[in-house]
Amino acid sequence: MIKAPDHISSIQPYVPGKPVEELERELGISGSVKLASNENPVGPSPRALRALRAGMSSLNRYPDGSCYYLRKALAERLGADPDELIFGNGSNEIIELAVRTFLSPGDAAVMAHPSFIVYASIVQAMNGKSIVVPLKDWRHDLKAMASKITKKTKIVFIANPNNPTGTINRRDEMDAFMKKVPEGVLVVVDEAYYEYVSSPDYPDCMHYLREGRDILILRTFSKMYGLAGLRIGYGIAPAPVAEEMNKVRQPFNINSLAQLAAAAALQDRQHVARTKKINEEGKAFLYAGLERLNAGYVPTEANFIFVPLAQGNAAEIYTALLKKGIIVRPMGPSALRITIGLPEENRRLVRALKQVKALF
């Protein structure tokens, strides 16, 4: 049997959770609450749903390979040139495109830990080297990351807000970091949770783009816009960077329904405002509930909360909650990541946490 190269066979694959329906069948429960994948519990915009229904009759046609209408609408919203945009099957694909385009075997990418696990796996798939810098106070240690940049470094990944901690790096930190990054190193700023941020100190990375820096800003329609099932994200970069990435992008990578729904969702500011309000209220409710349980948590700028566990029993708590119909995400042995849900989902979570309080 054919054998994959060592740098491929040694990749630790992403392990998706079981479908909720299958978990319910196995455990003999119903009405589970899924708070594990940072999805928007409000659901898609009604405008997006109408656009999907209207587009169903044209599925015999290939999608628009340039995302013309979505590109035009998004460029206008962002104040960007249409040529500065690149679209992907989720922002994950754009990460992969960036690595395939700019990183050769033996080159290095700098990233934080813990952060989005896809960065390291894609770099490894290209036979590159991941230079991992631990978080400091649950945030990217940008000073330490800058010190790890060498002549072999081609990419630096910064998740802002970070997944799984929900923390951000401030504007002054990013300004100082960008001044240290040498020319020829692509800074990939993953802003998947950009729309949830309320901090006035959050950096405007479009500023670095306008300065002519080698930067790729990643955003998505999966989170705030509630279109995770359609898999559509986008990147904003200098036009020459986007042009090179488009050379390795497969044609028709964004399906027609995703394009229609994203363009419609982009126009529904009311849905975005409602989603953010529900998230902020849910965040405050869960903070209070965790505090009553004397459970520590990391203040978040996203739609999830990172809960460190002193006793290192994340799997035990996860299992106990699962039996009560609450699905959260264990992050290694000593932390949980909990998506902020709808009001009743949050109430169910807090009630369940009280019942497993002895495990904290």
How confident is the model over 49-101, as pLDDT tens digits? 999 999 999 999 999 999 999 999 999 999 999 999 999 999 999 999 999 99
One-letter identity of residue 275? T
User: Average of pLDDT values for 123-145?
Assistant: 98
Question: What residues form DSSP beta bridges with 330?
Answer: 336
- Among 131, 135, 129, 180, smallest CA distance to 159 is for 135
pLDDT tens-digit profile of 281-298?
999 999 999 999 999 999
What is the structure's pLDDT at 17? Answer: 65
b/e for 289-305, b at 16 or more Cβ within 10 A? bbeebebebbebbbbbb
What is the structure's pLDDT at 252? Answer: 96
User: Over 80: is that where the pLDDT of 358 sits?
Assistant: no
Q: How confident is the model at residue 233 (pLDDT cuts 50, 70, 90)?
A: very high
What is the structure's pLDDT at 302? Answer: 98
User: Average of pLDDT values for 102-112?
Assistant: 98
Considering the chain, what is the average pLDDT of its residues?
95
CB 258 within 8 A of CB 230: yes
CB 145 within 8 A of CB 156: yes
What is the structure's pLDDT at 31? Answer: 85
User: Over 90: is that where the pLDDT of 8 sits?
Assistant: no
What is the structure's pLDDT at 18? Answer: 65
Question: What residues form DSSP beta bridges with 131?
Answer: 110
Q: Which residues contact 315 (CB under 8 A, 6 or more apart)?
A: 330, 333
Bridge pairing between strands 186-190 and 129-134? unpaired
* pTM of structure: 0.95
What is the structure's pLDDT at 89? Answer: 97
326 three-class SS: strand
User: Over 90: is that where the pLDDT of 15 sits?
Assistant: no
User: Average of pLDDT values for 155-183?
Assistant: 98
Q: How confident is the model at residue 122 (pLDDT cuts 50, 70, 90)?
A: very high
- Among 337, 305, 333, 324, smallest CA distance to 357 is for 324
* Tokens matching residue 156: 């630096």
Q: How far is CA 259 from the centre of its chain?
A: 19
* Tokens matching residue 286: 């869960």
* Tokens matching residue 224: 């705030």
What is the structure's pLDDT at 24? Answer: 77
Q: Which residues contact 268 (CB under 8 A, 6 or more apart)?
A: 45, 46, 47, 48
% residues pLDDT > 70 (the chain): 99
pLDDT tens-digit profile of 207-222?
999 999 999 999 999 9
User: Average of pLDDT values for 261-272?
Assistant: 98
In the chain the domains, ranked by start, together with CATH numbers, are: 16-43+270-359 (3.90.1150.10), 46-266 (3.40.640.10)
Q: Which residues contact 269 (CB under 8 A, 6 or more apart)?
A: none
Q: How confident is the model at residue 307 (pLDDT cuts 50, 70, 90)?
A: very high
What is the structure's pLDDT at 357? Answer: 78
What is the structure's pLDDT at 283? Answer: 98
What is the structure's pLDDT at 26? Answer: 77
What is the structure's pLDDT at 340? Answer: 98
Q: Which residue has the higher pLDDT, 21 or 23?
A: 21
